[in-house]
A = this chain, B = another copy of it.
Amino acid sequence: MTPKTTKSERALIDRLSALLVHDGSAVPFGDDMAALPGAPGQLLWSTDMIMAGVHFRAGDQPWELVGRKALAINLSDCAAMGAVPVAALIAIALQNDLTMADAVAIHRGAEELGGAYECRLVGGDTNSWDRPTVISITIAAALPEERPPVLRSGLRPQDRIFVTGALGGSILGRHLRFTPRVREALEICSRLTPTAMIDISDGLALDLDRLRVASGCGIVLESRLLETVIHSDARQLADQDGRPALEHALHDGEDFELIVGIPPDVSENLLAGLPLREIGRATDDIDGVQIRGADGTLTPLAPIGWEHFR
């Protein structure tokens, strides 16, 4: 056996970046989607995998919801780039004890959600084994009206930072049933010019840190604003486990809301009616992410969340 090694997802991705980064891409390595060579300026693509026992528990929910989630997390990546999903492929390793009906249900769950976005499953690869089920979906998306993709790296000091919805406690069920923010992202991108976006897969604290690192600036969150983005699920979970609801909102992950950076001079008229809740601002005065309390004191927010390789 190979020895067990201390490792983190970020460290691995850094190593892979050094290996895999290629010049000339319209999108930096490690963003939510990659530019698809061969369709320059037209198409993005990305892939996301879910595994039984890690991202869902086999038998805890209808298989339709598992298939739905497998596609939804990919649709969320399209949202994060401001792109329109166009089609998907599904590769699957089915645990042997699944029935044919279960296998069809997984595909139907993905297909039904995709249909709502005119994003169809157009092919795939079907395997079986005696291990937990793994589903890997790859999605392609188009950039409307020749708009550039919204990257993680575009946040600038003074930009206002928003999220598209309330956060925390998704484990109570929302992680299976969330609405990927595709329509919201397209509306935001058609009315405003967001400087940066990312979807919240691993928690606000961790994904905000990814945005900040990619953009090279600091972020100050206002605690009074954070109070407004705590999901009722986070409060329910806090009642159950005694941890503060805000902690759940900051660190739980699988919210699949978007973090959106908007230039400071945006008019309130343009913001009105958009599903955006403000949480803070970018800054070049500090490093990292800090939370400003009611008394003005700053407290660092650790980039801790759901992370593989913990």
- Residues in chain A within 8 A of chain B (CB atoms): 1-5, 7, 9, 11-13, 15-16, 19-20, 22, 25, 29-30, 33-39, 42-43, 45-49, 51, 53-54, 59, 86-87, 89-93, 96-104, 107-108, 111, 120-129, 131-132, 134, 136, 138, 140-142, 308-309
Contact = CB atoms under 8 A, between A and B. Distances in A.
Contacts of A29: 122-123
A5 B99 contact: yes
Contacts of A22: 120, 122
A136 B1 contact: no
Nearest to A131: B131
Given A19-B111, A51-B127, 18 more contacts: A2-B99, A2-B101, A12-B100, A16-B107, A19-B107, A20-B122, A29-B122, A29-B123, A36-B86, A37-B86, A38-B141, A39-B39, A49-B136, A51-B129, A53-B129, A127-B308, A134-B134, A138-B138
B100 A47 contact: no
- The number of times this chain is found in the oligomer is 2
6 contacts: A1-B59, A15-B100, A37-B122, A37-B140, A51-B127, A136-B136
A131 B132 contact: yes
A19 B36 CA distance: 28
Contacts of A102: 2
A200 to B, nearest CB: 16
A18 to B, nearest CB: 9
A26 to B, nearest CB: 11
A42 B120 CA distance: 18
B47 A2 contact: no
B33 A123 contact: yes
Contact of A47 (B11, B124, B129): B124
Contacts of A11: 100
Given A54-B129, A308-B126, A89 B45 contact: yes
Given A59-B1, A87-B37, A140-B38, A20 B107 contact: yes
A131 B134 CA distance: 11
Contacts of A124: 16, 47
A93 B134 contact: yes
A90 to B, nearest CB: 7
B46 A104 contact: no
A39 B39 CA distance: 7
A45 B97 contact: no
B136 A91 contact: yes
A25 B122 contact: yes
Contacts of A141: 38
A53 B131 contact: yes
